Structure 1
């Protein structure tokens, strides 16, 4: 069964180079950037792991915990992390789960048989503190992820949750947001005393 937005992220317990991980306990009251990569000691994955480590302060600022996954062993993770740190000039501290039997990868539909029978594709799950799946993205093995976009969607999700708004195309922090059509103008005047711009009855912009 496919995992859909709004579903509770299936819990699991598994080893990582940081010890045993229970997903829901790991998330706690934070957000989680849960992502898979095909294999240790591969070039694209090395750059992605390095970039995640380089952005540690950005994830922490947003109360986001990164959690990696591949179908390699803890021993391989530990050896590879030395390469990641050396080649990407960083210090990788987040856990990478060792999904040797592909149990979690299959649970989260990270194994795409046309790509590989055993290695995970580049899946992304953004999970909120309520353990709900809020966003999914899937990249092919040959294409590295855009980490600017990953941070942007976390910002967008946290902003829409906080203010009860939506975000337009290409939204960045500080840009105008959209008042949902379900909010009447009278309600909008109370909720957004800073005012709003009505371009159409269904398209109203405001600042938050």
Structure 2
């Protein structure tokens, strides 16, 4: 008997164009192209009216003004109808006093979830895992993070990550573990033996030819 071959959609790739989409949301139909010129965090959750997802949505909502300062929009998604989304948003406002200001994709067809690899058969075939995608103003996928269904994300980390990406883009530098604005950044190491020899005398916070920092 020939082995059956299961073909799955290709996973999105870093530094490649993010998968395009047009989808119904709680704010009407939205396309990826609507966010051109802005950063975007697209994030999925397993289901409406679930406790972990509720905590995440409230945290994203409270942080929305901080994302806005970074020219970054938020866009949620789950495999629920827009009626369920609206009812859940109203419930969060009633029970917790938090208003959800960003749209939520109603992905009943699972088209967007599949394009972004949000469906993980090891976790569920019918629910999106906690996936988060950072898309830059040119529509390029810059970061993606997957969490299990049982554990909530840290929203401050995504604020930090967008800030770090913008800092790296603007200054052609890298950022160290846990970097926060105002801290030193990492200078790219030289690509030649001559450059490595000269690095110690270039005025950076020098540790070795491949590891130097500077302030911005």
Shorter-chain TM range is: over 0.9
Match of residue 170, structure 1, among 178, 181, 185 = 178
TM-score w.r.t. length of structure 2: 0.89
Q: CA deviation at 1:82?
A: 1.1
- SS of match in other structure, 2:143: strand
Partner of 1:192: none
In the alignment, structure 1 residue 50 sits paired with structure 2 residue 58: yes
In the alignment, structure 1 residue 152 sits paired with structure 2 residue 160: yes
In the alignment, structure 1 residue 8 sits paired with structure 2 residue 17: yes
Q: CA deviation at 1:87?
A: 3.6
Deviation per CA, 1:12-50: give whole Å up to 9, x if none. Answer: 11100100011122x121000000000001101111111
What are the residue-to-residue correspondences of 1:162-201 with 2, within 5 Å? 162-182=170-190, 184=195, 195-201=203-209
- SS of match in other structure, 1:112: coil
Separation in structure 2 between the aligned mates of residue 182 and residue 128 of structure 1, nearest angstrom: 27
Partner of 2:32: 23
Instruction: Determine if contact 1:47/1:88 at 8 Å carries over to the other structure.
Output: no
- SS of match in other structure, 2:55: helix
Gaps of 5+ in 1: 190-194
Deviation per CA, 1:78-112: give whole Å up to 9, x if none. Answer: 00001222344322110000000111101111011
TM-score w.r.t. length of structure 1: 0.92
Q: CA deviation at 1:53?
A: 0.7
Instruction: Determine if contact 1:47/1:84 at 8 Å carries over to the other structure.
Output: no
Separation in structure 2 between the aligned mates of residue 163 and residue 18 of structure 1, nearest angstrom: 36
Gaps of 5+ in 2: 1-9
Partner of 1:98: 106
- SS of match in other structure, 1:38: coil
87 and 200 in structure 1: CA distance in 2 versus 1, 3 angstrom threshold: farther
Structural RMSD (CA): 1.5
Runs of 4+ in 1 over 4 A off after TM superposition: 183-186
Aligned length: 201
Instruction: Determine if contact 1:17/1:97 at 8 Å carries over to the other structure.
Output: yes
Separation in structure 2 between the aligned mates of residue 199 and residue 136 of structure 1, nearest angstrom: 31
